[in-house]
Structure 1
Amino acid sequence: MSGRFLKLDPRNFETEESPYGEEMEMFRNSVRAFFDREVEPRYRDFEVSGTDRAIWKKAAEYGILGATIPEAYGGPGANRFSIMVAAEELGYAPSGATAGSFIGTDICTNFLVDFGTEAQRRKYFPLILSGDCIQAMGMTEAESGSDAFAARTTAVRDGDEWVINGSKIYISNGSKADLVYVLCKTAPELKAKGLSMIIVEKGTPGFTQRRMITQGYKGGDTGELFLDDVRVPLSNLVGPENGAASMFVPNMALDRLQIVARSIGAAQRAFELTLEHCQNRRLFGQRLIDFQNTRFVLAQMETEIRVGRAFYNSLLRKVANDTITDAESSMAKIWLTELEFRTLDNCVQLWGGQAWMDDHPISRMFTAARVQRIFAGATELMKDVLGRRYLK
């Protein structure tokens, strides 16, 4: 990972300014404008049939997709904190509670940036940048949820092709993805060291994508994938054969932190909406904010969000210096996703019956917050990662 975050100015961590830097704050403005203008007005449409091609094209017009693609390939060449900035805005936007992972799957682009062949980059980078290629990570299986490296999907060489058999489930953007990075066992006897990443494109014979209806993220296009004797060229291998596990290491912290960034964004927006509500809502002749209990609850939320952001910012510094540990990203995933849920729960209580209605932003954000403690490694797995250290 060394050298991948060179555009980040470490001095920003020593001030009250954004730790992301001015360039990334300009990027944030673009992402926020995209959600405000393009996604929020259409969230009901997405609940019915998921995010459509038109909204992906709009995301491309705003310069949101493929931010880490190098300038040599026509991309912005942004540092990888663009992933966290986009995730934070995805959480901050109430419509993000409907859109699901949506643009968050852009983290998949890093696999091509880091490990893709020249031919793969030349083929897919232009499509990613234009919004014509929706990506998905085909990792989770029904029998290997948090233990992704226990995947049963296999890929066997047959001449100049891979023959893939298996299934994947709970895949973000899986029902519409044009490009899926499928985690396969290519050397089962090597267990986790025998996994490879192979590209499977939409429409490949034997490849079926099915939309799943979820509790939250109604427009998130969560999908189930079936691969029955799917044949793809050997050249669809991304990175070294049997090297997928090591490929995930540099992106694992980023994946957890983008979930955490989303939690921070959602908690902040929910607090802001609820504070405004309490300042304006009248009950028994008084504003809701005039009740001491209301102020106590709001003060506790604001304090927790501020402390949580300080912890998050400290980890950004470590990511920039390539010193973040698996334990630290696990702690962030545990604490900040739980913080989001507590915050949203308190906000529902302060809004009362309004927030029980499905069309209310706090209601949608509350429901969406529940899955954050499962995504990218469930809370229990994160605690186990930490706990194993105590046995040494």
Structure 2
Amino acid sequence: MTDSTTASWGSPFTEEEELYRETVRTFISRELEPRYLEIPARGPERRQLWRKAGEAGILGACIPEEFGGAGASTLCNVILSYELGRSASYGTIGSFVATDLATSMLVQGGSKALLDRWAPKILSGEVVQCLALTEPNAGSDATAIRTTAVREGDEYVINGQKTFITNADMADVIYVVVKTDPTKRGRGMSVLLVESDRPGVTQRPLKTMGFPAGNTGEVYLENVRVPVGNLIGEEGGAFKLLSSSLDADRLQIGGRALAQAELAHQLTVDYVKQRKAFGHTLLEFQNTQFKLAEAKADLEAGRAFFHSAVRKVRAGQCSEADTAMTKLWLTEMSVRVIDNCLQLWGGAGFMDEMPISRIYTSNRVLRIYGGTSEILKMLIARSL
């Protein structure tokens, strides 16, 4: 489903951004929604979809014009994420192409040589990217990572493991967050671009609770050598790159949570209008009306909160606490709305064939990645 309410009165998005939204919707409605249940998690067909996304013009929106891109703001990533969440296909195929925050790291810190080499392939969908930060013992506490990169002449030698990474099992370009100076914790972290075909790189898919055709995986790096020129930003500058990327990531996750809740509500309203019990439609029961009314109020408040954050981003006034509050409230709200909606489906809602079922399971991770709800509360409290 691709109809949306974000273009309603008071939308904070520009005309150009709304045109980009329409491009994304068209791609989703043509390429994903008619057959998302048959799309494989990996393989040639998945690769072909990436190329089609490139042909549609929805990849690499933030790449500057001099490198062939549109030079758009990170708000295009937010729009892409929202529209994917507003589609029933998301609960099956996962984030898919809504991972352009990796591109923003290349744009922020990559050299001209790296952008000349990779920008055209990113835009065309020829290459798949991923950002590898999380490790088995380091999630929200990024400074706890153990993956190291030791400089030897004109190369870095990387050793470590990354896990729970979107697109990790099929990525061609991996932005690996490493410790170049383990004695300095956060100030000793750097980002290196690693081509997945380098010796010592092993990629493996992971099976998750949601997203039957999703691409969550892990990466092993054993004595992987990359040239010094593959450094993104400055040595020890990972935190600066990650801070802006994580803020944008939290906003786009919040948008996706809002979109999923909106979709669940719309599907449920349609369902209770035709489902009957004891000779009446479910919508005629006061409990149904109250639950859907509560959800509607939550959605309207959530949309206002989301739009407020977008306006702050555009004005350059969106703080870490702002993005933390936005993600916290929207993801917590979405699970409340979706759970109440599924309840109104009864046994049908528990069936995997029903879109509401996969909306429910896929929504759960939104309160975990990009910063757990608990970590976000700490960030907000720190700003008081």
Partner of 1:191: 185
Matched, 1:231 2:219: no
Match of 1:346 among 335, 340, 350: 340
Q: What CA distance in whole angstroms lies between the structure 1 residues aligned with 2:304 and 2:170?
A: 37
> Aligned AA for 1:388?
R
Match of 1:268 among 223, 237, 262: 262
User: Is the partner of 2:218 in helix, strand or coil?
Assistant: strand
1:157-176 equivalences in 2 (<5 Å): 157-176=151-170
Matched, 1:283 2:277: yes
> Aligned AA for 1:22?
E
Shift in Å at residue 316 of structure 1? 0.9
Q: What CA distance in whole angstroms lies between the structure 1 residues aligned with 2:115 and 2:42?
A: 30
User: Is the partner of 2:9 in helix, strand or coil?
Assistant: coil
- Asked if the contact 1:46–1:218 (Cα under 8 Å) also holds between the matched residues in 2, the reply is no
Partner of 1:203: 197
Shift in Å at residue 252 of structure 1? 2.2
Partner of 1:28: 21
Q: What CA distance in whole angstroms lies between the structure 2 residues aligned with 1:206 and 1:147?
A: 26
> Aligned AA for 1:90?
L
Shift in Å at residue 48 of structure 1? 5.3
Shift in Å at residue 114 of structure 1? 1.5
Q: What CA distance in whole angstroms lies between the structure 2 residues aligned with 1:209 and 1:155?
A: 18
Do the aligned partners of residues 48 and 353 (structure 1) sit closer, same or farther apart at CA in structure 2, a change above 3 Å counting? farther
Offset from partner CA, 1:42-77 (integer Å, 9 cap, x none): 322335547710111111121110111112211122
Shift in Å at residue 196 of structure 1? 0.5
Match of 2:357 among 363, 367, 387: 363
Q: What CA distance in whole angstroms lies between the structure 2 residues aligned with 1:324 and 1:79?
A: 14
Offset from partner CA, 1:267-320 (integer Å, 9 cap, x none): 111111111111222222211111111111110001001001101111111111
**Structure 1 unmatched runs, 5+:** 1-12
Shift in Å at residue 165 of structure 1? 0.3
Partner of 2:114: 120
Shift in Å at residue 210 of structure 1? 0.2
Q: What CA distance in whole angstroms lies between the structure 1 residues aligned with 2:41 and 2:130?
A: 20
Matched, 1:90 2:84: yes
Q: What CA distance in whole angstroms lies between the structure 2 residues aligned with 1:385 and 1:247?
A: 18
User: Is the partner of 1:156 in helix, strand or coil?
Assistant: strand
Offset from partner CA, 1:175-206 (integer Å, 9 cap, x none): 00000000000011111000010011111100
Q: What CA distance in whole angstroms lies between the structure 2 residues aligned with 1:335 and 1:65?
A: 28
- Asked if the contact 2:40–2:46 (Cα under 8 Å) also holds between the matched residues in 1, the reply is no
Match of 1:257 among 236, 248, 251: 251
- Asked if the contact 2:11–2:307 (Cα under 8 Å) also holds between the matched residues in 1, the reply is no
> Aligned AA for 2:207?
I
- Asked if the contact 1:18–1:25 (Cα under 8 Å) also holds between the matched residues in 2, the reply is no
User: Is the partner of 2:264 in helix, strand or coil?
Assistant: helix
Offset from partner CA, 1:351-378 (integer Å, 9 cap, x none): 1111111111100000001000001001
Identity of aligned residues (%): 45
- Asked if the contact 2:82–2:259 (Cα under 8 Å) also holds between the matched residues in 1, the reply is yes
User: Is the partner of 1:65 in helix, strand or coil?
Assistant: coil
> Aligned AA for 1:137?
L
- Asked if the contact 1:149–1:245 (Cα under 8 Å) also holds between the matched residues in 2, the reply is no
User: Is the partner of 1:105 in helix, strand or coil?
Assistant: coil
Shift in Å at residue 250 of structure 1? 2.1
Do the aligned partners of residues 185 and 176 (structure 1) sit closer, same or farther apart at CA in structure 2, a change above 3 Å counting? same
Q: What RMSD over aligned residues (CA atoms) do the two structures have, in Å?
A: 1.5
> Aligned AA for 2:11?
S
User: Is the partner of 1:104 in helix, strand or coil?
Assistant: coil
Partner of 2:37: 44
Number of residue pairs the alignment of both structures matches: 377
Shift in Å at residue 238 of structure 1? 0.6
- Asked if the contact 1:60–1:131 (Cα under 8 Å) also holds between the matched residues in 2, the reply is yes
Q: What CA distance in whole angstroms lies between the structure 2 residues aligned with 1:156 and 1:96?
A: 39
Give the ranges of 4+ consecutive aligned residues of structure 1 lying more than 4 Å apart after TM superposition.
Answer: 47-51
Q: Give the TM-score of the pair, scaled to structure 1.
A: 0.93
Partner of 1:109: 103
Partner of 1:10: none
1:274-353 equivalences in 2 (<5 Å): 274-353=268-347
Q: Which range moved further: 314-323 or 164-173?
A: 314-323
Shift in Å at residue 263 of structure 1? 0.5
Q: What CA distance in whole angstroms lies between the structure 2 residues aligned with 1:41 and 1:225?
A: 32
Matched, 1:16 2:9: yes
Q: What CA distance in whole angstroms lies between the structure 1 residues aligned with 2:151 and 2:204?
A: 27
Partner of 2:3: none
Matched, 1:140 2:134: yes
Shift in Å at residue 26 of structure 1? 1.5
